[in-house]
Amino acid sequence: MNGKLFWSAMAKFFGGLVLVGLLLFPAAGSFGYWQGWLLMGILFVPMFLAGLVMMAKSPELLRRRLNAREEQTEQKQVILLSGLLFLAAFLLAGLNFRFRWIVMPDWCIWTAAVLFLLAYALYAEVLRENVWLSRTIEVQEDQQVVDTGLYGIVRHPMYSATVLLFLSMPLVLGSPISFLVMLGYLPVIAKRIRNEEQVLEQGLKGYAEYKKKVKYRLLPGIW
């Protein structure tokens, strides 16, 4: 086991855990915000297990997933906008619980939790299919076009799963207001995808042909 990689992964994991807790519970004014605990459970338990699997079977993939430093100015803007959306959505979710602006029925929250876990399963399948998957936009040495499995249906199944994750997350938190905020992620991810495809088409052999073969980016028949 790579000790440096392990401790880097643990630092980011627990840092994310603490950050989400600090965004949710002070705003909610109570540790009795059960929707917040639900989200943290379905978010961080699978994340921890997936990290252990990648550490054991594909440490290089884990290393790429931990690297979030974008080099391109356009993508730095995308990361910043995404972070601001998350900040606003999480704080508003906590405040919604505290002041009971809009109270969602429990069945809606649990349905959203199921959708969230399904999106996580899609995300895991994408990680299994694409060993070159990185959090940053880049073309890696010896990288090849993946056009099977989910990549034979849409060109960016990772982002399809991410959109489902991000839109179900505020509903798990019981906050329709936060859901409206997170709709702002759609133009942000569209901007990222367009830029990523330019980079891949210029630097990845066969990607232009792949775009002709697989017509849709995120959702079959729509976009």
Determine the distance from the C-alpha atom of residue 26 to the mean position of all C-alpha atoms in its chain, rounded to a whole number. Answer: 24
Number of domains into which the chain is organized: 1
Q: Would 221 be classed as within a structural domain?
A: no
Q: Would 220 be classed as within a structural domain?
A: no
CA–CA separation, 151 and 127 (whole Å): 11
Single pTM value for the model? 0.88
Determine the distance from the C-alpha atom of residue 191 to the mean position of all C-alpha atoms in its chain, rounded to a whole number. Answer: 16
Confidence bin at 74 (pLDDT 50/70/90): low
In the block, residue with structure tokens 């699997």 = 53
| Residue 173: closest CA among 37, 46, 82 | 37
Q: Would 144 be classed as within a structural domain?
A: yes
Domain encompassing residue 80: 3-213
Segment among 20-29, 53-62, 166-175 with least mean pLDDT: 53-62
Q: Would 219 be classed as within a structural domain?
A: no
- Please give the pLDDT value at position 95: 98
Q: Would 218 be classed as within a structural domain?
A: no
CA–CA separation, 206 and 100 (whole Å): 53
| Residue 72: closest CA among 196, 189, 187 | 196
- Please give the pLDDT value at position 106: 97
Give residue-wise pLDDT tens across range 172-211: 999 999 999 999 999 989 988 888 888 888 878 888 888 8
Q: Would 12 be classed as within a structural domain?
A: yes
Give residue-wise pLDDT tens across range 131-172: 766 655 556 666 788 888 889 999 999 899 999 999 999 999
Q: Would 209 be classed as within a structural domain?
A: yes
Q: Would 123 be classed as within a structural domain?
A: yes
| Residue 172: closest CA among 99, 101, 100, 93 | 93
Residue 98: CATH number of its domain: 1.20.120.1630
- Please give the pLDDT value at position 138: 56
In Å, how far are 44, 50, 54 from 34, measured between CA atoms? Answer: 15, 24, 30
